[in-house]
Chain A
């Protein structure tokens, strides 16, 4: 899968490395900004109040 992705990418190796880096950073940003907060609230609720 990743090998296929690597072959699909155009340009010489350094261009591909650049594209992959940008993609990885974008994926990490989406995870940290939206996916992780949602997962934390949904899967691991932390209650610190009484009653509720």
Chain B
């Protein structure tokens, strides 16, 4: 009996599956076992898609996507945009040199050679200069465009630094104010808090190089538009200096406050005389 069940069962089952007229007890039991086996076989592979299962997989997917986003946001996009902005700035320097050679958009040089040329007013979205900050890296240079629009200028992978259009231009008495991100989107001002008194900062235009010396940092509220005044924080005073003001966010990854860096123009180098000695190598592209 037991022999029949264990050994004969499976052998008979295939036969028993066919329509049969046999009614012997053995074949009926075999048929029952066969249907049970058939049922067991079909349950395992045809696993039903359950609501909970789908929900779980969707949640896991969402978690992975969020992780990917954060990685892209703080790391990948930053590096990619930074490299592209650096690359773009080198091309801008070449373009500035070409414009100077063609005499396009170049201001008339004043009679007194000590007076710097004042750059032509910038248009919104137009790249008109590059910023060179040796403290931010040996070959650090990034394009500057008119306006501080997030989408077209500050978040732009080809630009990154924006000039407040209501402020003065390089070489002009007053305040040349620029803004850039401190984190993400290439973060041109990532190391703004690393500046030390006396650090040289250069603004390169088609006219030449404006050399600024870093003076100090200030931390203000986001509403502090007085930092853009011709004399920052002192609208009542008549300006006599040519100031560079850099604004960025503080603390990092936050928009709660602003960090402001001030620098004062000390020298300017007309393009006709070539770049300042300190910049040889950095502005190789435009000097050649």
List the interface of chain A (C-beta within 8 A of B).
1-4, 28, 31-32, 36-37, 39-41, 44-52
Contact = CB atoms under 8 A, between A and B. Distances in A.
A50 B180 CA distance: 11
A48 B247 contact: yes
A50 B189 contact: no
Q: How large is the interface on B (under 10, 10 to 19, 20 to 34, 35 or more residues)?
A: 35 or more
Interface in B111-159: 148, 150-151, 154-155
A41 B249 CA distance: 15
B43 interface: no
A46 B227 contact: no
Interface in B237-260: 247-249, 253, 255, 258, 260
Contacts of A50: 179, 220, 222-225, 227-228, 247, 258, 260
Contact of B179 (A32, A45, A48): A48
Interface of B: 47, 49, 53-54, 57-58, 65, 68-69, 72-73, 76-77, 148, 150-151, 154-155, 162, 164, 179-185, 189, 220, 222-225, 227-228, 247-249, 253, 255, 258, 260
B73 A40 contact: yes
A37 B77 CA distance: 9
A48 to B, nearest CB: 4
Nearest to B49: A4
Main secondary structure of the interface of B (DSSP, over half): mixed
A49 to B, nearest CB: 4
Contact of A1 (B58, B76, B151): B58
Contacts of A36: 69, 72-73, 77
A3 B155 CA distance: 40
Contacts of B249: 46-48
Contact of B53 (A1, A32, A48, A49): A1
A51 B221 CA distance: 9
Contacts of B65: 31
A52 B184 contact: no
B54 to A, nearest CB: 5
Given A1-B57, A36-B73, A50-B224, 5 more contacts: A1-B54, A4-B49, A46-B181, A48-B255, A52-B148
A46 B162 CA distance: 14
Contacts of A48: 154, 179-182, 189, 247-249, 255, 258
Nearest to A3: B47
Between A3, A39, A44, A46, the greatest number of chain B beta carbons within 10 A of the residue's beta carbon is seen for: A46
A20 to B, nearest CB: 14
